[in-house]
């Protein structure tokens, strides 16, 4: 089973994942991107890799599946976007000091199993992310899944 420790300790995967997260930030116009895995208890999403201001915090963070956008995406298997006025779990905002204005999130699959979610927050030049950003995020989520498949054998 994939875990935070396995991914963070695997130098090549960690480097490739970080490059993809940097591409997400650039290509989606986001200020930050995070890879979340479904926790071993199935009730939490664990931050694994982050490209942004506070990777030291987000790569140790966990949010409940039942009370987070990334948890909703993991539960439904459907990519989504949220913006101002939508309900968000603010526990991560409190830890990082960065308020989330908007988010896009997409499921990450390894083979046929949903193992996590990749998210991007706060578009740099608008209030909301556009459909093209969500589509780009889904492509990058697919690539993350292909990379992670090599660890899950």
The pLDDT tens digits for 50-104 are 999 999 999 999 999 999 999 999 999 999 999 988 888 888 889 888 889 999 9
Q: Are 35 and 144 in contact (CB under 8 A)?
A: yes
Which pLDDT score, from 0 to 100, does residue 87 have?
A: 81
Whether 153 shows a pLDDT value over 60: the answer reads: no
- pLDDT digit string (tens) for 8-44? 666 777 888 999 999 999 999 999 999 999 999 999 9
Number of neighbouring beta carbons within 10 Å of residue 109: 18
Residue scoring higher pLDDT (145 or 8): 145
- Quote the CA–CA distance of 14 and 58 in Å, as a whole number: 14
Cβ proximity of 119 and 34 under 8 Å = yes
- Centre a 10 Å sphere on the Cβ of residue 150 and count the other Cβ atoms it contains: 12
Task: Examine the pLDDT at 128 and tell me if it is beyond 70.
Answer: yes
- 109, 18, 130, 81 alpha-carbon torsion, rounded to 10°: 50
CA distances 121 to 55, 68, 132, 146, 151, Å, are 14, 13, 15, 23, 27
Tell which CATH classification among 3.30.450.40, 3.40.50.300, 1.10.3470.10, 3.40.50.720 matches the domain 4-149: 3.30.450.40
């Amino acid at each position: 089973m994939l875990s935070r420790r396995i991914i963070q300790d695997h130098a090549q995967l960690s480097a490739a994942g970080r490059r993809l997260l940097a591409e997400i930030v650039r290509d989606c116009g986001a200020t930050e991107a995070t890879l979340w895995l479904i926790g071993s208890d199935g009730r939490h999403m664990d931050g694994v890799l982050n490209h942004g201001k506070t990777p030291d915090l987000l790569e140790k963070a966990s949010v409940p599946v039942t009370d987070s956008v990334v948890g909703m995406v993991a539960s439904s298997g459907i990519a989504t976007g949220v913006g101002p006025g939508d309900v968000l779990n603010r526990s991560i905002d409190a830890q990082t000091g960065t308020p989330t204005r908007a988010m896009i999130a997409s499921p990450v699959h390894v083979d046929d199993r949903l193992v996590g979610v990749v998210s991007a927050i706060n578009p740099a030049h608008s209030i909301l992310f556009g459909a093209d950003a969500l589509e780009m995020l889904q492509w990058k989520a697919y690539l993350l899944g292909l990379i992670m498949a090599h660890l899950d054998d």
